[in-house]
Structure 1
Amino acid sequence: MKTKNTKNFIISTSYLIAFVLFSLMITFIDVKPIGPEESFVGFATLNGWMHNLFGINRTLYNITDWASILAVFIALGFAILGLCQWIKRRSLFKVDRSILLLGGFYSIVFTAYLFFEFFIVNYRPILIDGFLEASYPSSTTMLVMCIMPTAMMQFSRLIINNKARNIVNTICGIFTGLMVIGRLLSGVHWFTDILGGVLLSAGLVMFYFTMNEQIDSKKHKQ
């Protein structure tokens, strides 16, 4: 188990390092003013080509925007579960460690979102209500790809019935894939925004998975 956890930690760290390096590359490589109001964009040739290929689909933009609320409600549900356990067990330290870890994970995701709202790498390829908005990494992609996979891990713990668990997790997986694809095809993000969101989410989720595996291994030893 120790070797497996070490391998998982290396994988999660690799994803996060790849995200950092990719972010730096976007800042310096092929930076041109191809965005609205001549905003500068890294990997301009690739991003411009992809944007022209898919165009802008406002319907998909609105659908993915509203659908992302489902992920928020799922995160809120786990927060309420943790709060109920806290109240019932009368101690924060008696809340399931996996739920506490999930709360910490959500905090990290939110911090990452705020960081890139202030330290802007790219602006969106379109104006939103007449204004430039931060675009990297895609916040919707990051939100869905962080919340849904970790929710699937929790559902695997909480849903006893195998058939019900498989159905729920399959729906979550399909929803995640459709949201990422829909966000790309909507044209409200550059291609590198989506890719950056995928890399960051993969690293964070893998780190959460690794920590959960450590919790499980400690339980088995007790």
Structure 2
Amino acid sequence: MEIVRLKDIKKIYKSKNEEVEALKSISLTINEGEMVAVMGPSGSGKSTLLHIIGLIDTPTEGSIEIDNKDVSKLNLSKFRNEYIGFVFQLSYLLPEFTALENVMMPLLISKKEKPKEKAINILKKLGLEHRVNHKPSQLSGGEQQRVAIARAIVNNPKILVADEPTGNLDSENTKIVMEIFKNLNKEKNTTIIIATHDIEVAKNCDRIIYIKDGKILKEEKAFERV
């Protein structure tokens, strides 16, 4: 079943002197439970595409449906918090709060019951039980990214959008992050969309979408999904 449908998506950024067409009439469908990699050079439109899928940004033209819902008719902030998790190249953890407090925030915003218990459980699942009371400055880069993943998935989103999530990580931490994503996809049937420059990351997905100059060049099945 399709969970993401984009139709004729254009995104134009305007400044005083010029217009930049970041996306050019992109149409795309992603199925529920699919892991998809989006690859392309810097400036190709990868991040713009993910931001639009994740409802962080809005298209200049075109339509978006998430889980058969026309997002133009929705309360986007509420829908995002319930349906979509985000992981970026930088963890964007709030430095004054502990790992536990950072992970609790989406639960507090959505007024879920037992936020502390749920946050602790997800941190334990990601091997961070000994770091719950540490602030980001006390964590390694790999630990910070795992806390960011915990924050992104604590609400059990249907879709996880990850923009270069391993870009600042070494090979060992990259492997750990990808195992987390694969387990989440397998156990929860979470749809995962990853923008990456790393073909080794993309090989973990079901499908690779290549994008250049704001257009989809081609799609292919990944060949090393394990």
- Mark yes or no: TM-score above 0.5: no
TM-score range, shorter chain: under 0.3
Normalised by the length of structure 2, the TM-score is 0.27
Which structure carries more strand by proportion? 2
**Structure (1 or 2) with the greater helix fraction:** 1
Using structure 1 for the length normalisation, give the TM-score.
0.27
Larger Rg computed on CA atoms: 1
